[in-house]
Amino acid sequence: MGNILSNQNFLEVEELSVWFETYQGTARAVEDVALHISRGEVVGLVGETGCGKTVTSMGILGLVKSPGWIAKGRVIFEGEDLLQKTEKELRKIRGKGISMIFQEPMNSLNPVFRIDRQFLEILRLHHNLDRQAARRKMMQSFEDVGLPDKESIGRMYPHQLSGGMQQRVMIAIALACNSKLLIADEPTSALDVSTQLQFLKILRRIQQESGMSILMISHDIGVVGSICERIYVMYAGGIVEGGKVAAIINRPAHPYSVGLIGSVPVLGKKQETLHVIKGEVPSLLALPKGCRFCARCPLAEGVCRETLPEAIEVEPGHLVRCHFVERGSSMGDGLSEGRCVTGSVGSAPMGSST
C-alpha cells in the first residue's frame, strides 16, 4: 500500500505475505502488506477481527511458526532485513529493539514465576546488568507506568494482578529494555472502559517522554484514532487505505473504511440501530480475483470482481485501493458521524493539529 521510503522510516514493511497450510488448502492470511513507521511516530493498524492484523505483527517479529510461513516480503528495521536473520539474531532484537504487548498479557507472563523474577531475567538478558542495577531499573519502570506499591507488585504472580496492571507491567518491561518500537496488539480490548482510558493516557505519556515508536493494532477505530498520527485500514489480509488520522476519519475514501467508521456509536447521538456492513468476509482459502471487498461493497461493478485495484493517492499521504475512489470518497464525506470518532476516548490524536 504505497510504502513511502524515507531516511526517517526505521521500520519498513514491503510486500509481506504470510500463508498457512490447512487441510482444506492454503490460507493467504496476509498478502502484499506494506507499511512504514518513522522514529517517534504512533501508527495504527485497524480492521475487523480475523483480517490479518496480528499475523502481520507476528510476521514483522519473525514469530510465524508451522503450519504458517512467510511467502515473501521484507521487514527492514534500522536498515536490516529481519526476515534474513537467524532465530538467535532475532531473539536479541525482540525486547530490546522491538517489544510487543498482547491482547491477553497473561499469555506473555509466565504464571509460575513472580513478576520480579521474570522482569529481572529479561533485563539481565538484554542489558547484562547485575541484580542490584536490574532491580533499580525495574522499580523505576514500575514508577514510570504508574504502578502502585512497587515492592509488592514485584513479589506478586501474574494472576494476582488485574488486566490493566498486567498491561502496565508489559509496558514497563518495554521501557526498561529501551525498546525503540512497541507493537501493541489489541492492548485495551480485555479492559473495561475506564481502565482503557487510563491505559491509553499512560501509553501516550510514555511515548512522548521516551520517543519510542508504536504500532497500535485494534479493531476499534476510536481507540486508534485517539492515540495515532496515521492509520492503515486492513481487510481480508490486505491494506485498503492508509493516511493521517484526520484524513481517514473525516474523509474516508474506501467503502470499507466508510462502513467501519459508520459502525462506531456516537456519544450523545440517539441511534435506533447501528450501521452494519452487510455480507461476510471472504474465505482466505478462496479470495476473489479482484477487490476483496467487492462482495460486500455497494459500489461494486464488474471491474471490481476481475481486477485488483492499485493504490491511488487521493491527497498527499492518503492512499486507497478502490476502482471508484471519487465515489467512495463522496460517500465518506456524507458520513458526518465519522468526524466524532477521535473524541471517543476523550482526547485528540498525538501530533494532530485538530
pLDDT tens sequence across 92-130: 898 889 998 887 777 788 999 999 999 998 888 778 888
pLDDT > 50? residue 32: yes
pLDDT band at residue 55, thresholds of 50, 70 and 90? very high
**Mean pLDDT, rounded, for 49-70:** 94
pLDDT tens for each residue of 172-217: 888 888 889 999 998 887 777 777 888 888 888 889 988 999 999 9
Question: Rounded to whole angstroms, how far apart are CA atoms 78 and 91?
Answer: 16
Tens digits of residue pLDDT in 131-159: 888 899 999 999 888 888 888 999 999 99
Sequence-distant (6+) residues with CB within 8 A of 65 are none
In angstroms, the CA 288 to CA 280 distance is 13
Calculate mean pLDDT across residues 325-343: 42
pLDDT at position 8 is 57
| Amino acid 7: pLDDT | 44
Global pTM reads: 0.85
| Residue 339 predicted with pLDDT over 70 | no
- Highest mean pLDDT: which range of 12-26, 219-233, 317-331: 12-26
pLDDT for residue 346: 31
pLDDT tops 60 at residue 351: no
Predicted pLDDT at 42: 96
pLDDT digits (tens, 9 = 90+) for 301-315: 999 999 999 999 998
pLDDT for residue 344: 34
User: Nearest to residue 49, comparing CAs of 195, 204, 263?
Assistant: 263
Band of the pLDDT at 34, cuts 50, 70, 90?
A: very high
Q: Is the pLDDT of residue 161 over 80?
A: yes
Mean pLDDT over all residues of the chain? 84
pLDDT tens digits for range 249-268: 999 999 999 988 887 766 66
Q: What is the pLDDT of residue 350?
A: 35
Q: How confident is the model at residue 276 (pLDDT cuts 50, 70, 90)?
A: confident
